[in-house]
Amino acid sequence: MRFPLFPDQASTLAPKVDELYFGLTLLSAIMMAIIFLPMLYFLYKYRRGNKVDRSPLRIPLWKIEVTWTVIPLLIVFGFYTWAADIFFDQERPPAEAMDITVIGKQWMWKIQHPEGNREINELHVPTGRAVRLIMTSQDVIHSFFLPAFRVKQDVLPGRYVTEWFQPTKVGTYHLFCAEYCGTSHSGMVGHVIVMEPADYEEWLRVGKPAETMAQSGERLFRELGCSGCHMGNSQIRAPRLEGLFGKPVPLADGQIVMADEKYIRDSILLPQSQIAAGYAPVMPTFAGHISEEELLQLLLYIKSLGLKQPEETR
């Protein structure tokens, strides 16, 4: 049996979290020393029957109390700032991050790369690039935990959450479901396989399916009839989707929302909840007609349209 003390450091985040962890460990050790060295000394010196001075001290109480209230307070503010700073960066994926989609279900992880490659309970990623996972659950709450990267995010049904990391070290590391999800919770595990970028490209090429995710999405866009209104010279006026993604959208009620993953998802499943300004609320809901997987493919297609300019404004 081995005695490992720390997980591998395989992401840009891992050393930062470990530094903070060491900092907190050191603080704890110092605090324990400050409390227990005097305590043990008192217990020994003032044991009953030992002949020592026991007359009461004459120091103002409030000075002592204020000291051991204020100093720890300042210390914890320091640690708060340190920890929140790392966390804040961790919650904002860089713009150039590559997207990979993850669907959790009892009890497996289904992953699809934008190139169309699918995997189950395995995630292949290259070193040196930020990876952003777009995740959702088909049933209960799961949690995507990669200890070697020091990242974890609960994966919720009914909405998208994201988690990002930048791998630094080639290797195979644990993937765990960290939120209890039922009978085989401890079997909902797998691996993240970090590869050199060239190896990753090769891996993508070898397993390349017929369609990329955006191409699957484009096919769905036609099959489900979305294109009938949202493209070409349609009879019914519906917003064009080119150039939409990542832009602010004015709504009929005067609000302005960002066209992000959540907005696209809600617009497909709950079309009446947010009506784009200037359009009639005529879109039917696709809830129940479309799987989480197809929804993600549509999303990536619409996202890919975001790079194009709408024809009218050209």
Partner 1 sequence: MNETEAVPVPAPAEVEENYLSAGHTVRSWLLTTDHKRIGLLYLFSIIFFFAIAAVAAAIMRLELLTPPGDLVLSATYNKLFTLHGVIMVWFFLIPSIPNVLGNFLIPMMIGARDVAFPKLNLLSWYLFMAGGLLALHAIIVGGVDTGWTFYTPYSSRYSNTHTVEMALGIFLSGFASILTGLNFIITVHEMRAPGLTWFRLPLFIWSHYATSLILVLATPVLAITLLLMMLERIWGLGIFDPRLGGDPVLFQHLFWFYSHPAVYIMILPSMAVVSELIPCFSRKRIFGYKFIAFASMAIAVLGFVVWGHHMFVSGQSVYAGMIFSILSFIVAIPSGIKVFNWTATLHRGSISFETPMLYALGFIGLFSLGGLTGLFLAALAVDVHVTDTYFVVAHFHYIMVGGTVLAFMGGIHFWWPKITGRMYPEKLGQLAALVTFIGFNLTFFPQFVMGYLGMPRRYHAYAPEFQIYHVLSTAGATILGVGYLLPVIYLLWSLRHGKKAGANPWGATGLEWQTPSPPPVHNFAEVPRVTGEPYDYSPQEEEKKAEDDHA
Q: Is 27 in the site for partner 1 (CB under 8 A)?
A: yes
Q: Is 273 in the site for partner 1 (CB under 8 A)?
A: no
Phi and psi based region of residue 158 (left: phi greater than 0; alpha: psi -120 to 50; beta: remaining): left
CB of 274 to partner 1, least distance (A): 15
Element (H, E) at 247: none
| Dist CA 272 CA 284 (whole Å) | 8
- Which string of x and - marks every residue 132-161 that binds partner 1 (by CB under 8 A)? -------xxx-x-x-xx-xxxxx-xxxx-x
Q: Which stretch binds partner 1 (CB under 8 A): 64-72, 114-122, 230-238, 290-298?
A: 64-72
**How many residues lie near partner 1 (CB under 8 A)?**
83
Q: Which stretch binds partner 1 (CB under 8 A): 87-95, 109-117, 249-257, 303-311?
A: 87-95
Q: Which two tokens stand for residue 270?
A: 């709950």
Q: Which stretch binds partner 1 (CB under 8 A): 47-55, 97-105, 202-210, 253-261?
A: 47-55
Q: Which two tokens stand for residue 272?
A: 């009446």
Q: Are 217 and 302 in contact (CB under 8 A)?
A: yes
Q: Is 284 in the site for partner 1 (CB under 8 A)?
A: no
**Residue type for position 9:** Q
Q: Is 186 in the site for partner 1 (CB under 8 A)?
A: yes
Q: Is 262 in the site for partner 1 (CB under 8 A)?
A: no
Q: Are 232 and 242 in contact (CB under 8 A)?
A: no
- Residue recorded with tokens 């619409």: 302
Q: Is 231 in the site for partner 1 (CB under 8 A)?
A: no
| Dist CA 21 CA 42 (whole Å) | 31
Q: Which stretch binds partner 1 (CB under 8 A): 57-65, 97-105, 218-226, 227-235?
A: 57-65
Q: Is 257 in the site for partner 1 (CB under 8 A)?
A: no
Taking the alpha carbons at both ends of the chain, their separation in whole angstroms is 67
- For residue 143, count other CB atoms closer than 10 A to its CB: 21
Q: Which stretch binds partner 1 (CB under 8 A): 27-35, 124-132, 215-223, 257-265?
A: 27-35
Would you say the C-alpha torsion 201, 207, 209, 212 has a positive or negative sign? negative
Of the candidate residues 15, 182, 278, 281, the single one contacting partner 1 (CB under 8 A): 182
Q: Is 31 in the site for partner 1 (CB under 8 A)?
A: yes
10 Å CB burial of residue 221 (0-12, 13-18, 19+) is buried
- Residue recorded with tokens 């004015």: 250
Q: Is 60 in the site for partner 1 (CB under 8 A)?
A: no
- Which string of x and - marks every residue 95-124 that binds partner 1 (by CB under 8 A)? -----------x------------------
Q: Is 258 in the site for partner 1 (CB under 8 A)?
A: no
Q: Which stretch binds partner 1 (CB under 8 A): 24-32, 193-201, 212-220, 254-262?
A: 24-32
CB within 8 Å of 45: residues ≥ 6 apart: 52
3-class SS of residue 164: strand
Q: Which is nearer to partner 1, 68 or 246 (CB)?
A: 68
